Structure 1
Amino acid sequence: MNQQPDFKSTTAVSALRQGRRDFASFVALLLPAILTCFACTGKASANESAEIRIDCDQSTVSLSPHLYGLFFEDINYAADGGLYAELIQNRSFEYFSLEETHRGTGFHPLYAWNSVSRSGGRAKMSVINTNPLNENNRHYLQLQVDQSDIVGVRNSGFDGIHLDEGARYNVSVYARLNDWTGDSKLTIQFETGNEFDCGRVVLDGADGTWKKFEGVIIATKTTDNASLTVTTEGKGTLDLDMVSLFPQDTFNGRRNGLRKDLVQALADLNPKFLRFPGGCIVHGSGLDNIYRWKDSVGDVAERKPNWNLWGYHQTYGLGYFEYFQLCEDLNMAALPVVPIGVGCGFRCTEFVPIDELGPHIQDAIDLIEFANGPVSSTWGKVRASMGHPEPFNLKHICLGNEEHDTPDMRQRFPLFSKAIREAYPDIKIIGTSGLGPEIPIYDLMTRDKVYSSDEHYYMPPNWFIANEDRFDDFDRNKPLIFVGEYAAHDTDRRNTLYSALSEAVFLNGIERNADLVDMTCYAPLFGHKNHSQWNPDLIYFDKRNVIRTTNYFVQKLYGQNKGDVYLRSHVDVKESTHAPTVSGHVGIGSWNTTIEVDKFTVNGRESDMANWKVTGGEYSTQDGHYIQSDGQATPAMSINNESLSAENVTIEVRARKTGGSEGFLIRFGADENGDGGYWWNVAGWNNTRHGLENFSEGNGTMPSVEGSIVNDRWYDMKVELTPGKIRCYLDGDLIHEYEIKQAGVSISSSYDHRAGEVILKIVNPNAVPVDARIKLAGARKVASEAKLISLSGAKDATNTFDQPTNVVPLESTIPAGPEMTHKVPAFAVEIIRVPATL
């Protein structure tokens, strides 16, 4: 953690200290840096200055060769309609309503399909499942043509099919005829608006059995709103299934391939591993919705599709073979995630009974055989039949994802790990620490001796800044750490430059502790412009465009400029800023609780609460008291109309609880709508704890202390705000004393042996530029010129579809030498690569 003005040296000793802190000590060290909010202001009149020393002759730890990678989950239509290049939606007519299983969606077997009838032709369209194409793909479209002419069906794709004039598209369909008279040809063509022919192919030869027909269509128009039609001029019954359309220009030109521009965006990150296929979808919404990898391999027409807990359907056309193939194409290690018979704790509490766990364990073992087994093995033969007789050389397997800490989970995990070790002792098992920074299951992973343990955290940007030293004191005798999902979530869940900078600060700490942290990856990876269930995401896309976010560019800078060994470094910042203060609106509130307020004063002046702005709950004034009477509101909040900006503010409240499960919320530093800033949560968490909560860059609960209140007793509460400090008193007792710190300059220094360069990463997450004096100590020779890559801009700057290059890295050269000066812009991450001989 970078603390001002005293920055600790990142020596090899500090980086390798043994003995993990207990939670209370860990919290105590983190709190001073955590509480920085958008309502905190520092008065700056000049640049800061920093002395940076790199001890080039003192390397500490080797950086993992696969430190930076990717995590892919089919969320936000990341697969079908995204990375998977298929242009037909609901190609096998397997969609069904998800209203009972998930949420209202409007899906049905003919979703994205419409009938076509021209020149008097007439037909009845339905989806049936008698005599299907195969047992995994049971539904198909049946067209009963009563009046022959031009009749058929039209697919609109994913909000319209995009075409490029002159481009070639592979089309395929399974078809069958019954009681047919007349022309048996099928015409497949692109249409848009009133243009009925934007490219076509005619396929012939259908008869009374299922047959696959393939052709190529050359588009005669560029458009984003085309549809694909399949029509006939005969009469009788026409059955259709697996209507498929792919551009030939997929990544590496593969059939059943991936969208080229999206894969290129991944390749540019220089990723060294891919974690797939999730994420929460591994668990599914229930045991019947678990991701079963065996359903995703083999002939795409025989894969068993499934619905997705994020609220849509997935074809599994992008399946385990394609994931392994992508890893091979981009030189990434494959990290498949398999479920361990435990339901998603957020959605269900189901567990596979122990006596029924055998097939699930066997699935995990068979997956390794699919990846690595000889062609003579059962699953190695399947892989070979798909065009890859050589093994994929899988080295890792991930067991579980974000499991909640339950006895059932603790009972099942060791059964999987034991079976895998017996069958494949060389496979490295990646376990799970559970959800959140407290890593509740790390003890189990330690006893099980997993290779590494997966941590996930989606936290406000300031959490990442405060946790730069998170791993400094982790016990090196315990499993390695895999940061498998993380992202900084600001108030509006946007990809701001500040959120990206906070992640860069965190990555600097990871590089310093690369002997412990083996892998990291941002999550989620993709977000569809029109169909996102989760924000923020690393890459946004529509049919034609790929938007690289500010966070993407941080990942790219770190992935392309990692280095081989970490060099001991030290930074000392001399501040020109004053301690930050809290400004904004104040207020009173409760959570599932009714309260009565006798007095609310700010700096000794009593407030007229009758005129406050109520943002939740039911407030009224009775006998001079301010009463909140809604016991269900979460929260019930009332905000003062005046905004405070004084350096010293004292808030005093006298109130009592009249009913409900919790206590009081004293708000300060909020905006006029009651958002942002802090609240002091007195007797929260079902009347068990007092805690300060920071809403500056996203909702973040700070660590708390034990405490409760009783009904119908008057309590005197006081909050003192002074420059750099927040103190909270309950009945005269000091409950909290928090120090507000502004983040300082963060650095990481490494050496790239192959390039012969010192790599310095500098992050300035503040509004004040920094005049840096850099000393490369211990180098035998240093070049006179260095390469600079800089990503900077406004704090809230983002890249959008309208402004995709609003914030992008810029490259230049700067003077260099054993001692050099450089001005680091405000809100910036910079990479300086200095040729040097060590």
Structure 2
Amino acid sequence: MSRPGAMKGLAAAALLVVPLGMAADAGAAKPVPDYTITVDDSAQGAAIDDTMYGVFFEDINYAADGGLYAELVRNRSFEFNSTDASGFTGLTAWQVVNGGGAAPTAQVVNDATRLNENNRNHLRLTSDGPGDGVRNLGYNTGFALKAGATYDGSVWARSTTAQTVTFALTNANGTVTYASGTVAVDGSDAWKKYELTLTANATVNDARLAVTGGAASVMGLDMISLMPHDRWVGKNGLSTLRKDLAQKIADLDPGFVRFPGGCIVNVNSHRAYTAANNFPRARSYQWKETVGPVETRPTNANFWGYNQSYGLGYYEYFTFAEDIGAMPLPVVPAVLNGCGQGFRANEQNELQRHIQDTLDLIEFANGPVTSTWGKLRADMGHPAPFGLTHIGVGNEENFPAQFITNFVQFRDAIKAKYPNITVISNSGPDDEGTTFEQHWAQNRANNVEMVDEHYYNSPTWFLQNNDRYDSYDRNGPKVFLGEYASQDAKWFNSLSEAAYMTGLERNADIVKLASYAPLLANVDNVQWRPDMIWFDNHQSWGSTSYEVQKLFMNNVGDRVVPSTASGKVMQPTPITGAVGLSTWRTAAKYDDVKVTSPDGTTLFSDDFNDGNADGWRPLANRGTWAVTDGQFVQTNTTAEDTLVAGPAVAATDYDVTMKATKTAGAEGFLIGFGVKDSGNYYWWNLGGWNNTRSVVEKATSGAKQTLVAREGHSITTNKAYDVKISVRGTKVTLFLDGQEFFSFDDNTVIEPFAQVVTHDDATGDTIVKVVNAQNTPAVTKIDLGKLKVAKKATMTVISGDPGQQNTRSAQPIRPVTTQIDVPSQFYRTFDPNSVTFIRIPKK
């Protein structure tokens, strides 16, 4: 049995390399291969675009401020408030410094004396003598300094009193100074920018920045800034980007940069930041707010729970993409609301403004310097066009009908003025389901060019779906896989992603762009896992998935060389295990739980009339479970995932029945089956997602994937539901109150062995890419046919224990490159849990 790209099976063999017709040693028999890879040298495979793999940047996990944006001062313009996060104020991250005498007054002011209309707040410092001021705590542990390194500082200040203002980098209480410098503020009472350079005399990771006045006065301070001078330098010169993070992204050699994010693009208000709109604090990301002089860019409440300064804005994204040779791919809001947010019908009057803003964005990127927005680009330092070719509209939209109406208006307006721009639609937040199918049907009906798919799934899902795009319509819209990742950060997750990527390459005629997500994570401020690159204040490291992405991006090739893999075939695994009961921010009660065989024989039963739950064990150790009035009750309405399990069920054919009642809370209830442990189970989530949908999910090693879903289904409080789950091997039918609700067959098997072969036109190299995502080595016969290849090749292997991670303290998963002999036909034993690239020059 064979098919292109991936093969189902297990393997066991010793490590060796033997050309066909030769033995490992004299008289030894030829090895018996577990797999055979056969190249069809007569066929022409799909062309692979230079932009096949890219990166997706979103300001999540403090990826911009405190991350890629090199600014070290937190809340530099005193704009933080409770809209950003609970407890935030204009003085968050600041302390008052008393130079002696009466305590100074540091007041955040929003009045007509402000720096400008967009920068609403500033600090008014009232002091009775020199040495009074404020101290910034920086991000995380503080300012990371290197001995001998220089730092570029600046401040906007105004005062009626001429004085010397001091910048000092100190320890936490100001008793040790690591660097200091001064600026002379005049007494003109006009806002002016003052700049200086500091040189550190020590290497520390927890410094503070004190800014103090030199005289008794009332002084205004704003935009207090400090950046390391050693920043990223690209084609556009010295940037405002943190050097090590920018370099790690550049080292990936991405074909595109998608920006400025996902959920931050299309959530919150779509109104502009204007006096007429009362300067809304929580807005969708709107590009015009992020360009021009940095002091004129208004800050915004970030969807992920903090403030974004917009110091890293559209101009910086465009120049960075150009610096690293990547295609810029901005995404604009479709004036709805995605990411689980409600539909903002009352803001549809903003639609035409956003469409015009998108046309202006294209002019900013591509227009001549004589145009309005092209001139702004030139004024910012880039007279030449950026060469924008693709733009996305919307992100993970939950309302397909409303979205397509808005999208078509965007698309038609863009095409009328810029016919060569590819306008990208999307398919919602899931890889399947009603919303996904409706999006795709509308995209096909409206002749959409490209569709942005997003999904985060278990490693099992990725190993089961290598052929996902094999059956896509070759004449339909192309796919931009804008966000994907396996739901953990272990090497096994990265192996599953690597196996999946061989399928993306095999289908390069359909999948034109793909980006792992998210890109960056500040280890001390995490809203989402997993992530590709991790960092703290002074160092950064790549995850195991970073190593996989880097290997693929640096060895893409220009076209697929058709090949097939054959080998042993795995069989589907019947669904066995215990019954589970759970809640998620609800209280619920269960009764008359029974497991029976198809002939009616009782395998397990509990009516709780004995007053105890001795047959049940907690798996999540959350919630408050007790037997009350002959029912098993969970009463904590804030606890999530309160899973408890009954005795194991070994049968492969059985029925689960019970009565379930939600008594309070935000959602419904969850019924588990096939429960092995806390990370491996199936459950029927009735009334999940704030009681808006019902879904069957499969958890593998803690990562969940959706098997079937019904939108718009809710659970009624205090109604007793009759639940039945019928399992027949891998086939499952679910009933609610006697009516069939779902059915599915989980008969897809894991494919631990995957491969693809590509050709690099520039070098003439043939690149054989093999993933062995199992605990045993895979002896593989490789037949390159009549391809004219050299006898020597470069082999790069990434391998390790599937449970290993790359962390701040150690990065065990790293590539190893060696030279090997490669006849046109040979055996290669691929290491357990490995990704191997063999790059073979032309003969």
The alpha-carbon deviation at position 822 of structure 1 amounts to 0.9
- Residues 711-736 of structure 1: CA distance to partner in whole angstroms, max 9, x if unpaired? 98988765455xxx566698999965
CA distance in 2, matches of 1:125, 1:690: 53
Comparing 409-418 with 737-746, which one deviates more in the overlay? Answer: 737-746
Q: Is 1:61 aligned to 2:56, yes or no?
A: no
Find 1:741's aligned residue among 742, 749, 756.
Answer: 749
Gaps of 5+ in 1: 1-5, 12-31, 34-41
Q: TM-score, normalised by structure 1?
A: 0.85
Aligned to 2:276: none
Check whether the contact 1:336–1:398 (CA below 8 A) recurs between aligned residues: yes
Alignment of 1:381-420 (within 5 A): 381-420=375-414
Comparing 414-423 with 263-272, which one deviates more in the overlay? Answer: 414-423
Aligned to 1:38: none
CA distance in 1, matches of 2:352, 2:715: 50
Find 1:569's aligned residue among 560, 563, 568.
Answer: 563
Aligned to 1:462: 460
Aligned to 1:151: 132
Comparing 310-319 with 409-418, which one deviates more in the overlay? Answer: 409-418
Aligned to 1:197: 177
Check whether the contact 1:631–1:659 (CA below 8 A) recurs between aligned residues: no
Check whether the contact 1:58–1:568 (CA below 8 A) recurs between aligned residues: yes
CA distance in 2, matches of 1:585, 1:65: 49
CA distance in 1, matches of 2:522, 2:641: 32
Alignment of 1:100-115 (within 5 A): 103-104=85-86, 106-115=87-96
The alpha-carbon deviation at position 156 of structure 1 amounts to 1.6
- Residues 667-711 of structure 1: CA distance to partner in whole angstroms, max 9, x if unpaired? 22422xx44223467999999989574444512221379999999
Alignment of 1:644-793 (within 5 A): 651=654, 653=656, 655-656=658-659, 665-671=671-677, 674-679=678-683, 693-703=698-708, 719=727, 725=730, 737-739=745-747, 741-779=749-787, 781-793=788-800
Aligned to 2:499: 505
Aligned to 2:254: 271
Check whether the contact 1:9–1:570 (CA below 8 A) recurs between aligned residues: yes
Aligned to 1:80: 65
Aligned to 1:333: 327
The alpha-carbon deviation at position 457 of structure 1 amounts to 0.7
Q: Residue 562 of structure 2 aligns to a residue in which SS?
A: strand
CA distance in 2, matches of 1:244, 1:117: 21
Check whether the contact 1:691–1:705 (CA below 8 A) recurs between aligned residues: no
Check whether the contact 2:159–2:185 (CA below 8 A) recurs between aligned residues: no
CA distance in 2, matches of 1:335, 1:528: 24
Alignment of 1:307-346 (within 5 A): 307-344=301-338, 346=340
Report the AA paired with residue 7 of structure 1: S
Cα gap change, 1:137/1:584 in structure 2, threshold over 3 Å: closer, same or farther?
same
Q: Residue 395 of structure 2 aligns to a residue in which SS?
A: coil
Report the AA paired with residue 204 of structure 1: A
Aligned to 1:831: 837
CA distance in 2, matches of 1:461, 1:495: 11
Check whether the contact 1:617–1:635 (CA below 8 A) recurs between aligned residues: no
The alpha-carbon deviation at position 243 of structure 1 amounts to 0.9
CA distance in 2, matches of 1:736, 1:682: 16
Check whether the contact 1:749–1:759 (CA below 8 A) recurs between aligned residues: yes
Aligned to 1:477: 475
Comparing 517-526 with 283-292, which one deviates more in the overlay? Answer: 283-292
Cα gap change, 1:717/1:669 in structure 2, threshold over 3 Å: closer, same or farther?
closer
Q: Residue 799 of structure 1 aligns to a residue in which SS?
A: coil
Q: Residue 364 of structure 2 aligns to a residue in which SS?
A: helix
Check whether the contact 1:589–1:667 (CA below 8 A) recurs between aligned residues: no
CA distance in 2, matches of 1:230, 1:773: 68
Check whether the contact 1:580–1:742 (CA below 8 A) recurs between aligned residues: no
Q: Residue 331 of structure 1 aligns to a residue in which SS?
A: coil
Q: Is 1:817 aligned to 2:823, yes or no?
A: yes
Report the AA paired with residue 308 of structure 2: Q
Aligned to 1:118: 99
Q: Is 1:139 aligned to 2:121, yes or no?
A: yes
CA distance in 1, matches of 2:180, 2:687: 69
Comparing 71-80 with 753-762, which one deviates more in the overlay? Answer: 753-762
Aligned residues: 779
Q: Residue 813 of structure 2 aligns to a residue in which SS?
A: coil
CA distance in 1, matches of 2:285, 2:722: 54
Cα gap change, 1:589/1:165 in structure 2, threshold over 3 Å: closer, same or farther?
closer
The alpha-carbon deviation at position 794 of structure 1 amounts to 1.2
Cα gap change, 1:59/1:740 in structure 2, threshold over 3 Å: closer, same or farther?
closer
CA distance in 2, matches of 1:715, 1:302: 59
Aligned to 2:23: none
- Residues 560-610 of structure 1: CA distance to partner in whole angstroms, max 9, x if unpaired? 1111110111111136x8875767655456887644326446996556784
CA distance in 2, matches of 1:572, 1:90: 58
The alpha-carbon deviation at position 814 of structure 1 amounts to 2.1
Q: Is 1:360 aligned to 2:351, yes or no?
A: no
CA distance in 2, matches of 1:498, 1:558: 17
CA distance in 2, matches of 1:128, 1:794: 56
CA distance in 2, matches of 1:611, 1:236: 73
- Residues 790-829 of structure 1: CA distance to partner in whole angstroms, max 9, x if unpaired? 11111121101121x2111111122211111111112111
Check whether the contact 2:682–2:696 (CA below 8 A) recurs between aligned residues: no
Aligned to 1:206: 186
The alpha-carbon deviation at position 363 of structure 1 amounts to 0.6
Cα gap change, 1:684/1:597 in structure 2, threshold over 3 Å: closer, same or farther?
farther
Report the AA paired with residue 97 of structure 2: V
CA distance in 1, matches of 2:55, 2:695: 39
The alpha-carbon deviation at position 466 of structure 1 amounts to 1.8
The alpha-carbon deviation at position 408 of structure 1 amounts to 2.8
Gaps of 5+ in 2: 15-32, 272-282
CA distance in 2, matches of 1:300, 1:692: 46
The alpha-carbon deviation at position 405 of structure 1 amounts to 2.6
Check whether the contact 1:720–1:727 (CA below 8 A) recurs between aligned residues: yes
Check whether the contact 2:589–2:634 (CA below 8 A) recurs between aligned residues: yes
Cα gap change, 1:242/1:635 in structure 2, threshold over 3 Å: closer, same or farther?
closer
CA distance in 2, matches of 1:177, 1:594: 67
Q: Is 1:285 aligned to 2:288, yes or no?
A: no
- Residues 208-249 of structure 1: CA distance to partner in whole angstroms, max 9, x if unpaired? 211111111111111111111122231121111111111111
Aligned to 1:799: 806
Aligned to 1:184: 163
The alpha-carbon deviation at position 389 of structure 1 amounts to 1.1
Q: Residue 185 of structure 1 aligns to a residue in which SS?
A: strand
CA distance in 2, matches of 1:169, 1:712: 66
Check whether the contact 1:541–1:547 (CA below 8 A) recurs between aligned residues: yes
Find 1:219's aligned residue among 185, 195, 200.
Answer: 200
Aligned to 1:526: 520
Two-structure CA RMSD over aligned residues (Å): 3.5
Q: Residue 434 of structure 1 aligns to a residue in which SS?
A: coil
Check whether the contact 2:49–2:512 (CA below 8 A) recurs between aligned residues: yes
- Residues 448-478 of structure 1: CA distance to partner in whole angstroms, max 9, x if unpaired? 4333111111111222222211111211222
Report the AA paired with residue 68 of structure 1: Y
Aligned to 1:3: none
